[in-house]
Amino acid sequence: MFFRDRTLAAEILSRPRDPHMEAMITGYVDEAAKIAHNAPSVVLPDVTGRSAKSDEQRLHVVEGDLLLDDDELVAYAARNAPRPLIPNSPLGDSGLVGFETEGAATRWDEGTVLRYSVMRRSFLREADYRRAARNLRAAADDWEEVCGVRFEHVDSFDDHDDIARPASEFRDDLVFTARLQDQGGTLIAAAFFPTQPPPRRKVIFDSSYFRPGLRFNRVGVLRHELGHVLGFRHEHIRSGAPAECPGDTEDVTLFPFGDYDPRSVMHYFCGGVGNPRLTLSVSDKKGARQLYGPPLSTR
């Protein structure tokens, strides 16, 4: 794995660009430097090639629980601007914010069953494995109750030795794996978006998730992570959020389903708002129904 020997911000600055571009970028070079220097990184086993299992892949943590590789971080830093003005939606009182792919809100195709395995051998204790599986199921149930999605725990791969293997290599229709990947408290858990390639489709637990005294509801943390899996972005990156909240976003066109909602499950606990129980707010439920339709159990 190649690692850059100078800061990403320096690299961005050294690239030749036209004066107009230069003027545009000057305003956020500081921001790029801040992100490049401050983004903590985590190391995951490299899963891009089966023959390179001993290599490692360094991913950078931005917005607390989004994992970006080197190239994605460069793009993130270079394009980052002050808090974007994300318009409120004409759709009214629903909530959540997604992002666009080819002009439409990003989502899993109709009928996709989000099958996953929980890699038992990654966890330090059997009790942690059981808790992870139980809480993931509970969080999945909460999303299934409010919109037309279906998660299914396929436990036939849970005991597999190769805990880093991409889910799709176990079985074509297995979408993601969930596993412990200790990150020393850099994050509590992390997930992925529908647009990320199969090797990146993992729900990661840090060992801090299992520590007594965690100030967030553990099922709630997974409701938030599964929100990303479904295609929802952080609520606190929107205009209207307190300035103290992290306000950055990747180079994506956001797709709001409603107005800014400080009680959203996708909102961090920052700037005096956010809900440490991470429950689905009334407007979260409406926004999720806009993207995925009514719960499958009601159709």
* Interface contacts to Zn ion, rule CB under 5 A: 65
φ, ψ (nearest 5 deg) of residue 245: -75, 150
User: Nearest distance from residue 65's CB to Zn ion, in Å?
Assistant: 4
CA–CA separation, 258 and 32 (whole Å): 29
Q: Which residue number, 67 or 133, has a Cβ lying nearer to Zn ion?
A: 67
Q: Are 178 and 132 in contact (CB under 8 A)?
A: yes
Residue 177, strand partner residues: 117, 202
User: Nearest distance from residue 182's CB to Zn ion, in Å?
Assistant: 19
Residue 116, strand partner residues: 153, 176
Q: Which residue number, 36 or 61, has a Cβ lying nearer to Zn ion?
A: 61
CA–CA separation, 250 and 72 (whole Å): 9
User: Nearest distance from residue 67's CB to Zn ion, in Å?
Assistant: 10
Identify the CA nearest to 143 among candidates 104, 191, 103, 188: 191
Q: Which residue number, 31 or 65, has a Cβ lying nearer to Zn ion?
A: 65
Q: Are 194 and 106 in contact (CB under 8 A)?
A: yes
User: Nearest distance from residue 190's CB to Zn ion, in Å?
Assistant: 8
Q: Which residue number, 165 or 236, has a Cβ lying nearer to Zn ion?
A: 236
Q: Are 266 and 224 in contact (CB under 8 A)?
A: yes
What residue is closest to Zn ion based on CB? Answer: 65
Token pair 């972005």: residue? 233
- Which tokens in the block code for residue 251? 């180079």
Q: Which residue number, 44 or 221, has a Cβ lying nearer to Zn ion?
A: 221
User: Nearest distance from residue 211's CB to Zn ion, in Å?
Assistant: 19
